[in-house]
Structure 1
Amino acid sequence: MPYPAYGMPPRPATNGFAVASLITGIVCCLPPLGLVLGLIALAQIKKKGQDGRGLAIAGTALSVVSTILMTVAFATGGAAAFWDGLRDAADESARSRSTLDLRTGQCFDTPHGVEDEKETASVAVVDCEKPHDGEVSGAFPLHKFDRWPGDPAIESEAETRCEDINSAYALDRWAVPEAAETYYYMPTRDSWRLGDRTVVCTFAATEAKLKSSVRSDRTTLNPAQLAYLESEQAIEETRWEEPEDLFEDDPDANRVWAAQMSLTLEEQARALRAADWPAAARKDALARAKEYDAARKHYDRVTGALEEDEFWEGCGKAEEAFRQETEIAVRSALGLSTKPPAEPGDEGTGDPDAEETQPGEAV
């Protein structure tokens, strides 16, 4: 005789409010909500015969405890301190940037200050108009190396390229504080393995902090300011190309350099005369062009110098043609910095608030 088949009776469903009450009670984000959900769950479970009574009781108990704790925290100010700490941590996280992710124009603070920094993975991005350790002037990729070249090779590349990048970023070198030095972040052996091939160039202060942005380029200058500063920069860059060997050691190289100075001065005098100057600056800008012409003639003469004394005398007269009073007058009319930077060995010039610093290099 066959036995009748019997099925197991269906198991009552677990009440959803009970589950929600337990989760809310554990998380403690909204304790009163967990308490309400727990009471609703207990009422429905009793009426519908559902499972989840233990969950609802546990969620209700946890929510009661959490509600009491939160009430005490608000009464004593503990909650405010907690949320302030949470907000400060969030702000700090938002400001933190990997040195690989820094962008041109961002200002930053380093974890331990630039002077003591040897290697760092992240910095805090800050407002450029508040005191800061450094400002990003640009970056360049190391395409010329197929494999890790070693620190000295990258440093050599960074020193040259970052000087050029900084010069283009801060055309008004008179406005750059004496404390600001060329500084850079470059790949380490470990970051190279992860694909890091970028050198980040910056201005940074190894002692006193920078007080504002040093940027003066096409993004911040008007056309007249840009025309004047680019002419001065072109002449300065040619000056920097003066041979290391003296005339008596390499007369040909020195004569070639003098010819390049003559050509640069001729080009920049023409540029100043062609620029569209505001009325207040036109007279002084044209006076500066005349100084370029006067200096050019002296450099042109020494391109054929045969004697050392003749060469250096001509170069000296060329430099005497530049009058700082004219440069200050042009700058004043254009709204640029009028305080000359301190020259090596000079006292009483430059930024009075800046302290003497040494160039910094970060690896």
Structure 2
Amino acid sequence: MTLPPAGPPSPQAQPTSCGLPAWPGPHAAPSTQVSGFAIASLVLSLACLAPLGLIFGIIALVRISQHRERGRGLAVAGIAVSSVVLLFSLLVMVGALHFSVWSSNTPRGPASQSSAASVFALKTGDCFTPATELSPDNQGPLRNATAERLPCDGPHRGEIYGSFELSGQGAFPGTEEVMKTSRERCGALLPDYALDFMAHGRLQTYFYYPDRGGWERGRRTVLCWAGKPQGNLRESIRMGESDVDPAQYRYLRAFRPLLEAQLRSPQQGPDRDLAAASGWAGQMGAAYAETARLLGEARGGLPGDARGPAGRIVVRFEEAVPYWEQASRAENAEAFLAALKEAESDSDVIAELDSEARTAMGLPTAETTAPSGGEEA
């Protein structure tokens, strides 16, 4: 919240007489002595001793009214300057507090406790539920930029899997450019954090980024997080090489090129941006080919029951590559979508083969991670 700049108080209205001149009586002769407290108030306020300047100014006004001393203008000026200095100091402290929240390195609290904080105070590994629910298009400003930090082994909306600073300290590059950079870099961070991203069913990646107002206030941090399109997560998506055995790691690692390409999918369809869609299709074709190669190499080190389905996945991926390449050369949106349909025609079969291989290796599947009782997670 930005407060208006502080300024001196409005001039005090001078009293006037009504009808008759206000002649002083014989015992009301004005004093020629200037109040020492009034002088001290102004001097102390100018010397950055605002609290004392304010106190002395108030004392001066009281004494001037009681002892008919001179110096009311000095006292008022001392009070005004002291008030401005105190208000400015308060604003500086508030600003410093806001910045420390934004860049906080405070250690996370116990996992069993929840706490509310700015979304920008969240760190990699934090599980949370934001105060502002996502809009249907997952875009737009945050109406309430707070979030409740929650334990990852209970219901939570999302999990921070990475963050980074936007380079440059110049003018705001524009929302589209910030979003483009954020999408690309957040996509690259996910595979290192969530080795088995597919084990949690359908997930979606999101990010918080600075808008123009935040940029002008010095914010450059982008927070990358993942969650379900609807409902809550009930466990952490974090998994690294040390959390699995060698065979499981080889199997999961083979899918990384495909995951990275999927995360680079364009926001607009081929009917609105055919060039972007075609470029992405070329990346997907290369990712399918590379994943097939890696999975074929890893297949020999898998448990016996996992080798069969893994081998059939390799075949399906290799068969899909020409269709992705065809989509990358499409001359119009209709041709692109027709090739895409063929490229993804075996997706259900591949999902079943993946589930079979995972079961043989003791990895979680979408079925084993789904909540009981039919509740959407």
Tell me the residue number matched to 1:203.
Answer: 226
Q: Secondary structure at the match of 1:136?
A: strand
Post-superposition CA distance 1:101-153 (Å, at most 9, x none): 4221121344x4645962325x4433210222331111011104523446565
Which residues in structure 2 correspond to 1:203-282 (within 5 Å)? 203-204=226-227, 208-218=231-241, 220-235=243-258, 237-238=260-261, 241=265, 244-245=269-270, 260-275=283-298, 276-282=301-307
| Corresponding position: 1:137 with 2:161 | yes
Taking only aligned residues, the RMSD between alpha carbons, in angstroms, comes to: 4.9
| Corresponding position: 1:336 with 2:363 | yes
Report if the CA contact (8 A) 2:163-2:221 is conserved: yes
The two structures have a TM-score, normalised by structure 2, of 0.50
2 CA distance for matches of 1:268 and 1:91?
A: 37
Tell me the residue number matched to 1:119.
Answer: 144
2 CA distance for matches of 1:236 and 1:294?
A: 18
Stretches of structure 2 that go unaligned for 5 or more consecutive residues are: 1-109, 136-141
Post-superposition CA distance 1:45-82 (Å, at most 9, x none): xxxxxxxxxxxxxxxxxxxxxxxxxxxxxxxxxxxxxx
Aligned-residue sequence identity (percent) comes to 27
Q: Go from structure 1 to structure 2 and tell me whether the alpha carbon gap of 1:193 and 1:231 turns closer, same or farther (over 3 Å shift).
A: same
The two structures have a TM-score, normalised by structure 1, of 0.52
2 CA distance for matches of 1:271 and 1:279?
A: 18
Aligned length: 255
Q: Go from structure 1 to structure 2 and tell me whether the alpha carbon gap of 1:313 and 1:109 turns closer, same or farther (over 3 Å shift).
A: closer
Highest RCO, 1 vs 2 (Cα 8 Å, sep ≥ 6)? 1
Q: Secondary structure at the match of 1:210?
A: coil
What is the CA distance between 1:198 and its match in structure 2? 0.8
Which residues in structure 2 correspond to 1:286-305 (within 5 Å)? 286-296=311-321
What is the CA distance between 1:296 and its match in structure 2? 3.3
Tell me the residue number matched to 2:126.
Answer: 106
What is the CA distance between 1:339 and its match in structure 2? 2.6
Tell me the residue number matched to 1:284.
Answer: 309
2 CA distance for matches of 1:281 and 1:104?
A: 33
Q: Secondary structure at the match of 1:132?
A: coil
Tell me the residue number matched to 1:146.
Answer: 170
1 CA distance for matches of 2:327 and 2:375?
A: 42
What is the CA distance between 1:321 and its match in structure 2? 5.0
Stretches of structure 1 that go unaligned for 5 or more consecutive residues are: 1-89, 342-347, 356-363
Which residues in structure 2 correspond to 1:5-20 (within 5 Å)? none
Of stretches 227-236 and 140-149 in structure 1, the one that deviates more from structure 2 is 227-236
1 CA distance for matches of 2:291 and 2:163?
A: 28
Q: Go from structure 1 to structure 2 and tell me whether the alpha carbon gap of 1:149 and 1:265 turns closer, same or farther (over 3 Å shift).
A: closer
Q: Secondary structure at the match of 1:131?
A: coil
Tell me the residue number matched to 2:354.
Answer: 327
